[in-house]
């Protein structure tokens, strides 16, 4: 993640304790936190950080292309630091757990011209849904 901070400084980003903390919270694999989750975790490290700053910083990271917005459920947006490797998502329908996945195939090629309604199609987003091992175990035991 210091990679990220270096790159941002290079882009003229003013480095502040708040921004550092947000970047730290977003470190890791399969991380897809809501803005409020980012805020809760940031508060542990920097008690006075405000909600507005978290939203601002996430918004900037998104515009800079360093973080992705993901909308897997129909509630809050989630923020995904894995922006440099294209991927899709696998979501547990019960607990909401989200994994990054890299399916084979080319879904764009699977959309015939007759199904394009004259659109210029540039992008496709795939969301797999199922039940995670954890939830499966809990349900069968109960």
Q: Which phi and psi angles does 41 have, rounded to 5°?
A: -70, -35
Return the one option of Mn ion, Zn ion, DNA, none that residue 92 interacts with (CB less than 5 to 8 A, by type): Zn ion
**Total length of the chain:** 142
Return the one option of DNA, Mn ion, a copy of itself, none that residue 105 interacts with (CB less than 5 to 8 A, by type): a copy of itself
* Sign of CA pseudo-dihedral 106, 65, 29, 79: negative
Return the one option of a copy of itself, Mn ion, Zn ion, none that residue 80 interacts with (CB less than 5 to 8 A, by type): Mn ion
**Cβ atoms 124, 84 nearer than 8 A:** no
Kindly tell me which residue out of 3, 84, 102, 140 binds a copy of itself, with binding defined by CB under 8 A: 102
Picking from 36, 69, 31, the residue whose alpha carbon sits closest to that of residue 52 is 36
Q: How far is the CB of 140 from Mn ion (least distance, A)?
A: 28
Picking from 51, 50, 44, the residue whose alpha carbon sits closest to that of residue 24 is 44
Kindly tell me which residue out of 80, 81, 90, 91 binds Mn ion, with binding defined by CB under 5 A: 80
Which range of residues in 9-17, 40-48, 50-58, 120-128 is near a copy of itself by CB under 8 A?
Answer: 120-128
């Amino acid at each position: 993640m210091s990679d990220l901070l270096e790159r941002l400084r290079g882009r003229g980003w003013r480095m502040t304790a708040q921004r550092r903390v947000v970047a730290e919270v977003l470190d890791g694999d399969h991380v897809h936190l809501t803005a409020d989750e980012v805020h809760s975790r940031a508060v542990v490290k920097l008690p006075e950080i405000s909600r507005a700053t978290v939203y601002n910083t996430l918004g900037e990271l998104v515009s800079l292309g360093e973080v992705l917005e993901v909308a897997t459920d129909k509630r809050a947006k989630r923020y995904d630091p894995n922006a440099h490797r294209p991927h899709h998502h696998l979501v547990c329908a019960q607990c909401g757990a989200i994994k990054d996945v890299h399916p084979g195939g080319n879904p764009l090629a699977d959309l015939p011209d007759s199904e394009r309604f004259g659109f210029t199609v540039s992008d496709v987003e795939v969301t797999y849904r199922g039940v995670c091992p954890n939830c499966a175990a809990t349900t069968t035991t109960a």
